[in-house]
Amino acid sequence: MKVGFFVGCNTSFNRPDLEQAVRYAFPALGIELDNLEGQSCCPSWGTMPSVDVVGWCAVGARNHTIAEEKGLDIVTVCGSCYGSLAESKYKMDTNSEIKASVNEILKEIGREYKGTSKVRLAHYYLYHELGPERIKEALKHRLDGLTVALQPGCHTLWPSKVYYDKEEDPFHPKVLKEMCEALGATVGHYTRLIDCCGMGAMRSTDMEKSFNLVQKKLLSMKEEVNPDLIVTGCSSCLIQFDTAQEFLRNGKKINFQIPVLHFMQVLALCLGADREQVTGLAKTDVGPVVNRILAG
Amino acid sequence: MSNVQVATGVINLSEGDPGLVDEIKELGGEELLECIQCAKCAAACPMVLAGFSFFNKRVIQAILLGLRDALLDDSSIWACQSCNRCTEVCPREVNPFEIIQAMRRVAIREFALPTLSIEGLKSLYDTGHAVYLAGAGSTRAKVGLPEKPYSTVANPKALKELQAVIRQTALADLGIIPMDESDVTETCEV
């Protein structure tokens, strides 16, 4: 099995330890990664999508064509990349005028968007293509005895019509829960499970309001689950939960800290990855919980 | 909305811009007039929980009333997370998210866009990445990765290709960012 790894911006430049986690975990599970060399930004929401539909799709389409030429699906760990690429694909696949306009633009660089590659989120890809049971068999460490709270991420779920990997009910997501349970974790439910973390455009526009949202989620997690670890399904959520806690503590909005990792980081640890390479850039201390995972 | 209207909370509908509806429909909000203001989108919107003045339902309402200046003067449309909860729950398939995006497209055509978006667009053109951290090479090396990812930043031919694509889009027609040769030195966190 082989897939194209769409690494995007935040994972490349902000949390390359997450990039390393993907680069370790996929091959460890027998899946080869192609680098989709020459890929660009998805593009993210505040840029091309906010300017023009055809321009957004054209930049996305160039990325799609890199995977199409190789006959590969695209896998990413970033919700924004997943959402933007899936939406641009949906627009081109369902609107022949948009597709024709995009291909007119791509003609100048000798490319053509055909629509033959799927866009997948890493843990959904593993869930559907390998399944939790096969992943269990490959584990060197487990999360037995650890309680986790989940942050699935908005773009994992909505709009469900644009995604290849759909949740049975996107307002009651199960995939990330089942994947964490496959690693041995106890997954606690909390009221604000599907609330937004406030990262992205909201944080860029008004940091205080953005942090109010993540504060609400953290308090709900703490009071209802009291987790040893927060596990996210999105790189942006990872960055928000990881970096906001210090601000909130300094502002006396919370009086605790909870370590945060992306699911692919937890999986990589369980498969035997080097802890510094796959979790070494966390701002909120993950040391003790990583010790527990590696002892499990 | 004039300052008097803002102060009194009274909206003079005769001052509304009736052309705004058509503009939104042309820029991607085709289903705007299907909205019945049921507020199901608002019930699902994180902007409501965070306390922004204009969220999906109110943006649509303001567009229908032609309140162009009120929307352009407020930063709320730029805080939309593109999370698409609204799209999922809308019973009329209005696609409220796309209407907020269309309102951003109107704003951009009036150069009423946030500095961060301009920087993101410039960074996208110059590096291929809207979010770009110039000092990330050492961070990447620290975790055992090559200093540049396998993207446009490590591949000049691919970057030129991307730039050729962008130069054919509305972004070039609007002239929001310079599209000449430049060095990749800036950091941008959109």
pLDDT at residue B183 in the model: 56
Q: How far is CA B110 from the centre of its chain?
A: 13
Question: pLDDT per residue over B108-133, tens digit each?
Answer: 999 999 999 999 999 999 999 999 99
Q: Which residue range forms the structural domain that includes residue B154?
A: 115-174
Which chain A residues have a beta carbon less than 8 Å from that of B108? 50-51
Contact B162 A59 (CB under 8 A): yes
**Beta-sheet strand order (sheet of A32-34):** A32-34, A2-5, A74-76, A119-121
Whether B185 is covered by a domain: the verdict is no
For residues A167 and A17, give the distance between their C-alpha atoms in angstroms, rounded to a whole number: 28
Q: How many domains does chain B have?
A: 2
Which chain A residues have a beta carbon less than 8 Å from that of B142? 280-281
For residues A151 and A149, give the distance between their C-alpha atoms in angstroms, rounded to a whole number: 7
Final residue of a structural domain among B53, B82, B109: B109
Question: pLDDT per residue over A11-24, tens digit each?
Answer: 999 999 999 999 99
Final residue of a structural domain among B94, B109, B124: B109
- The verdict on B123 and B78 lying in the same domain is no
Query: Which of B88, B101, B165 is nearest residue A109 as measured by Cβ atoms?
Result: B165
- The verdict on B103 and B15 lying in the same domain is yes
**In CATH, what number is assigned to the domain containing residue B22?**
1.10.1060.10
- The verdict on B85 and B145 lying in the same domain is no
Whether B181 is covered by a domain: the verdict is no
Whether B99 is covered by a domain: the verdict is yes
- The verdict on B120 and B141 lying in the same domain is yes
Whether B180 is covered by a domain: the verdict is no
The one-letter amino acid at B126: D
- Say whether residue A226 is in contact with chain B using an 8 A CB cutoff: no
Which chain A residues have a beta carbon less than 8 Å from that of B174? 51
- The verdict on B131 and B148 lying in the same domain is yes
Whether B147 is covered by a domain: the verdict is yes
- The verdict on B18 and B87 lying in the same domain is yes
Task: Tell me the two tokens of residue B161.
Answer: 């290709």
- The verdict on B38 and B100 lying in the same domain is yes
Contact A209 B75 (CB under 8 A): no
- Nearest CA of chain B to the CA of A99: how many Å? 14
- The verdict on B151 and B120 lying in the same domain is yes
- The verdict on B81 and B105 lying in the same domain is yes
Task: Tell me the two tokens of residue A195.
Answer: 């609330």
pLDDT at residue B4 in the model: 52
- The verdict on B52 and B146 lying in the same domain is no
Whether B186 is covered by a domain: the verdict is no
- The verdict on B99 and B157 lying in the same domain is no
Question: What is the residue whose two structure tokens read 């096969």?
Answer: A134
Question: pLDDT per residue over A24-81, tens digit each?
Answer: 999 999 999 999 999 999 999 999 999 999 999 999 999 999 999 999 999 999 999 9
- Say whether residue A138 is in contact with chain B using an 8 A CB cutoff: no
**Residue A119 parent element (H or E):** strand A119-121
Which chain A residues have a beta carbon less than 8 Å from that of B190? 44, 46-47, 204
Q: Output B72 or B3, whichever has higher pLDDT.
A: B72
Contact B129 A41 (CB under 8 A): yes
Question: pLDDT per residue over B118-171, tens digit each?
Answer: 999 999 999 999 999 999 999 999 999 999 999 999 999 999 999 999 999 999
- The verdict on B84 and B29 lying in the same domain is yes
Interface test with A, best of B55, B80, B98, B143 (most A CBs within 10 A): B143
Final residue of a structural domain among B65, B86, B109: B109
Interface test with B, best of A10, A19, A44, A51 (most B CBs within 10 A): A51
Whether B104 is covered by a domain: the verdict is yes
Query: Which of A51, A159, A160 is nearest residue B170 as measured by Cβ atoms?
Result: A51
Whether B130 is covered by a domain: the verdict is yes
**Does a cis peptide bond (omega within 30 degrees of 0) precede residue A16?**
no
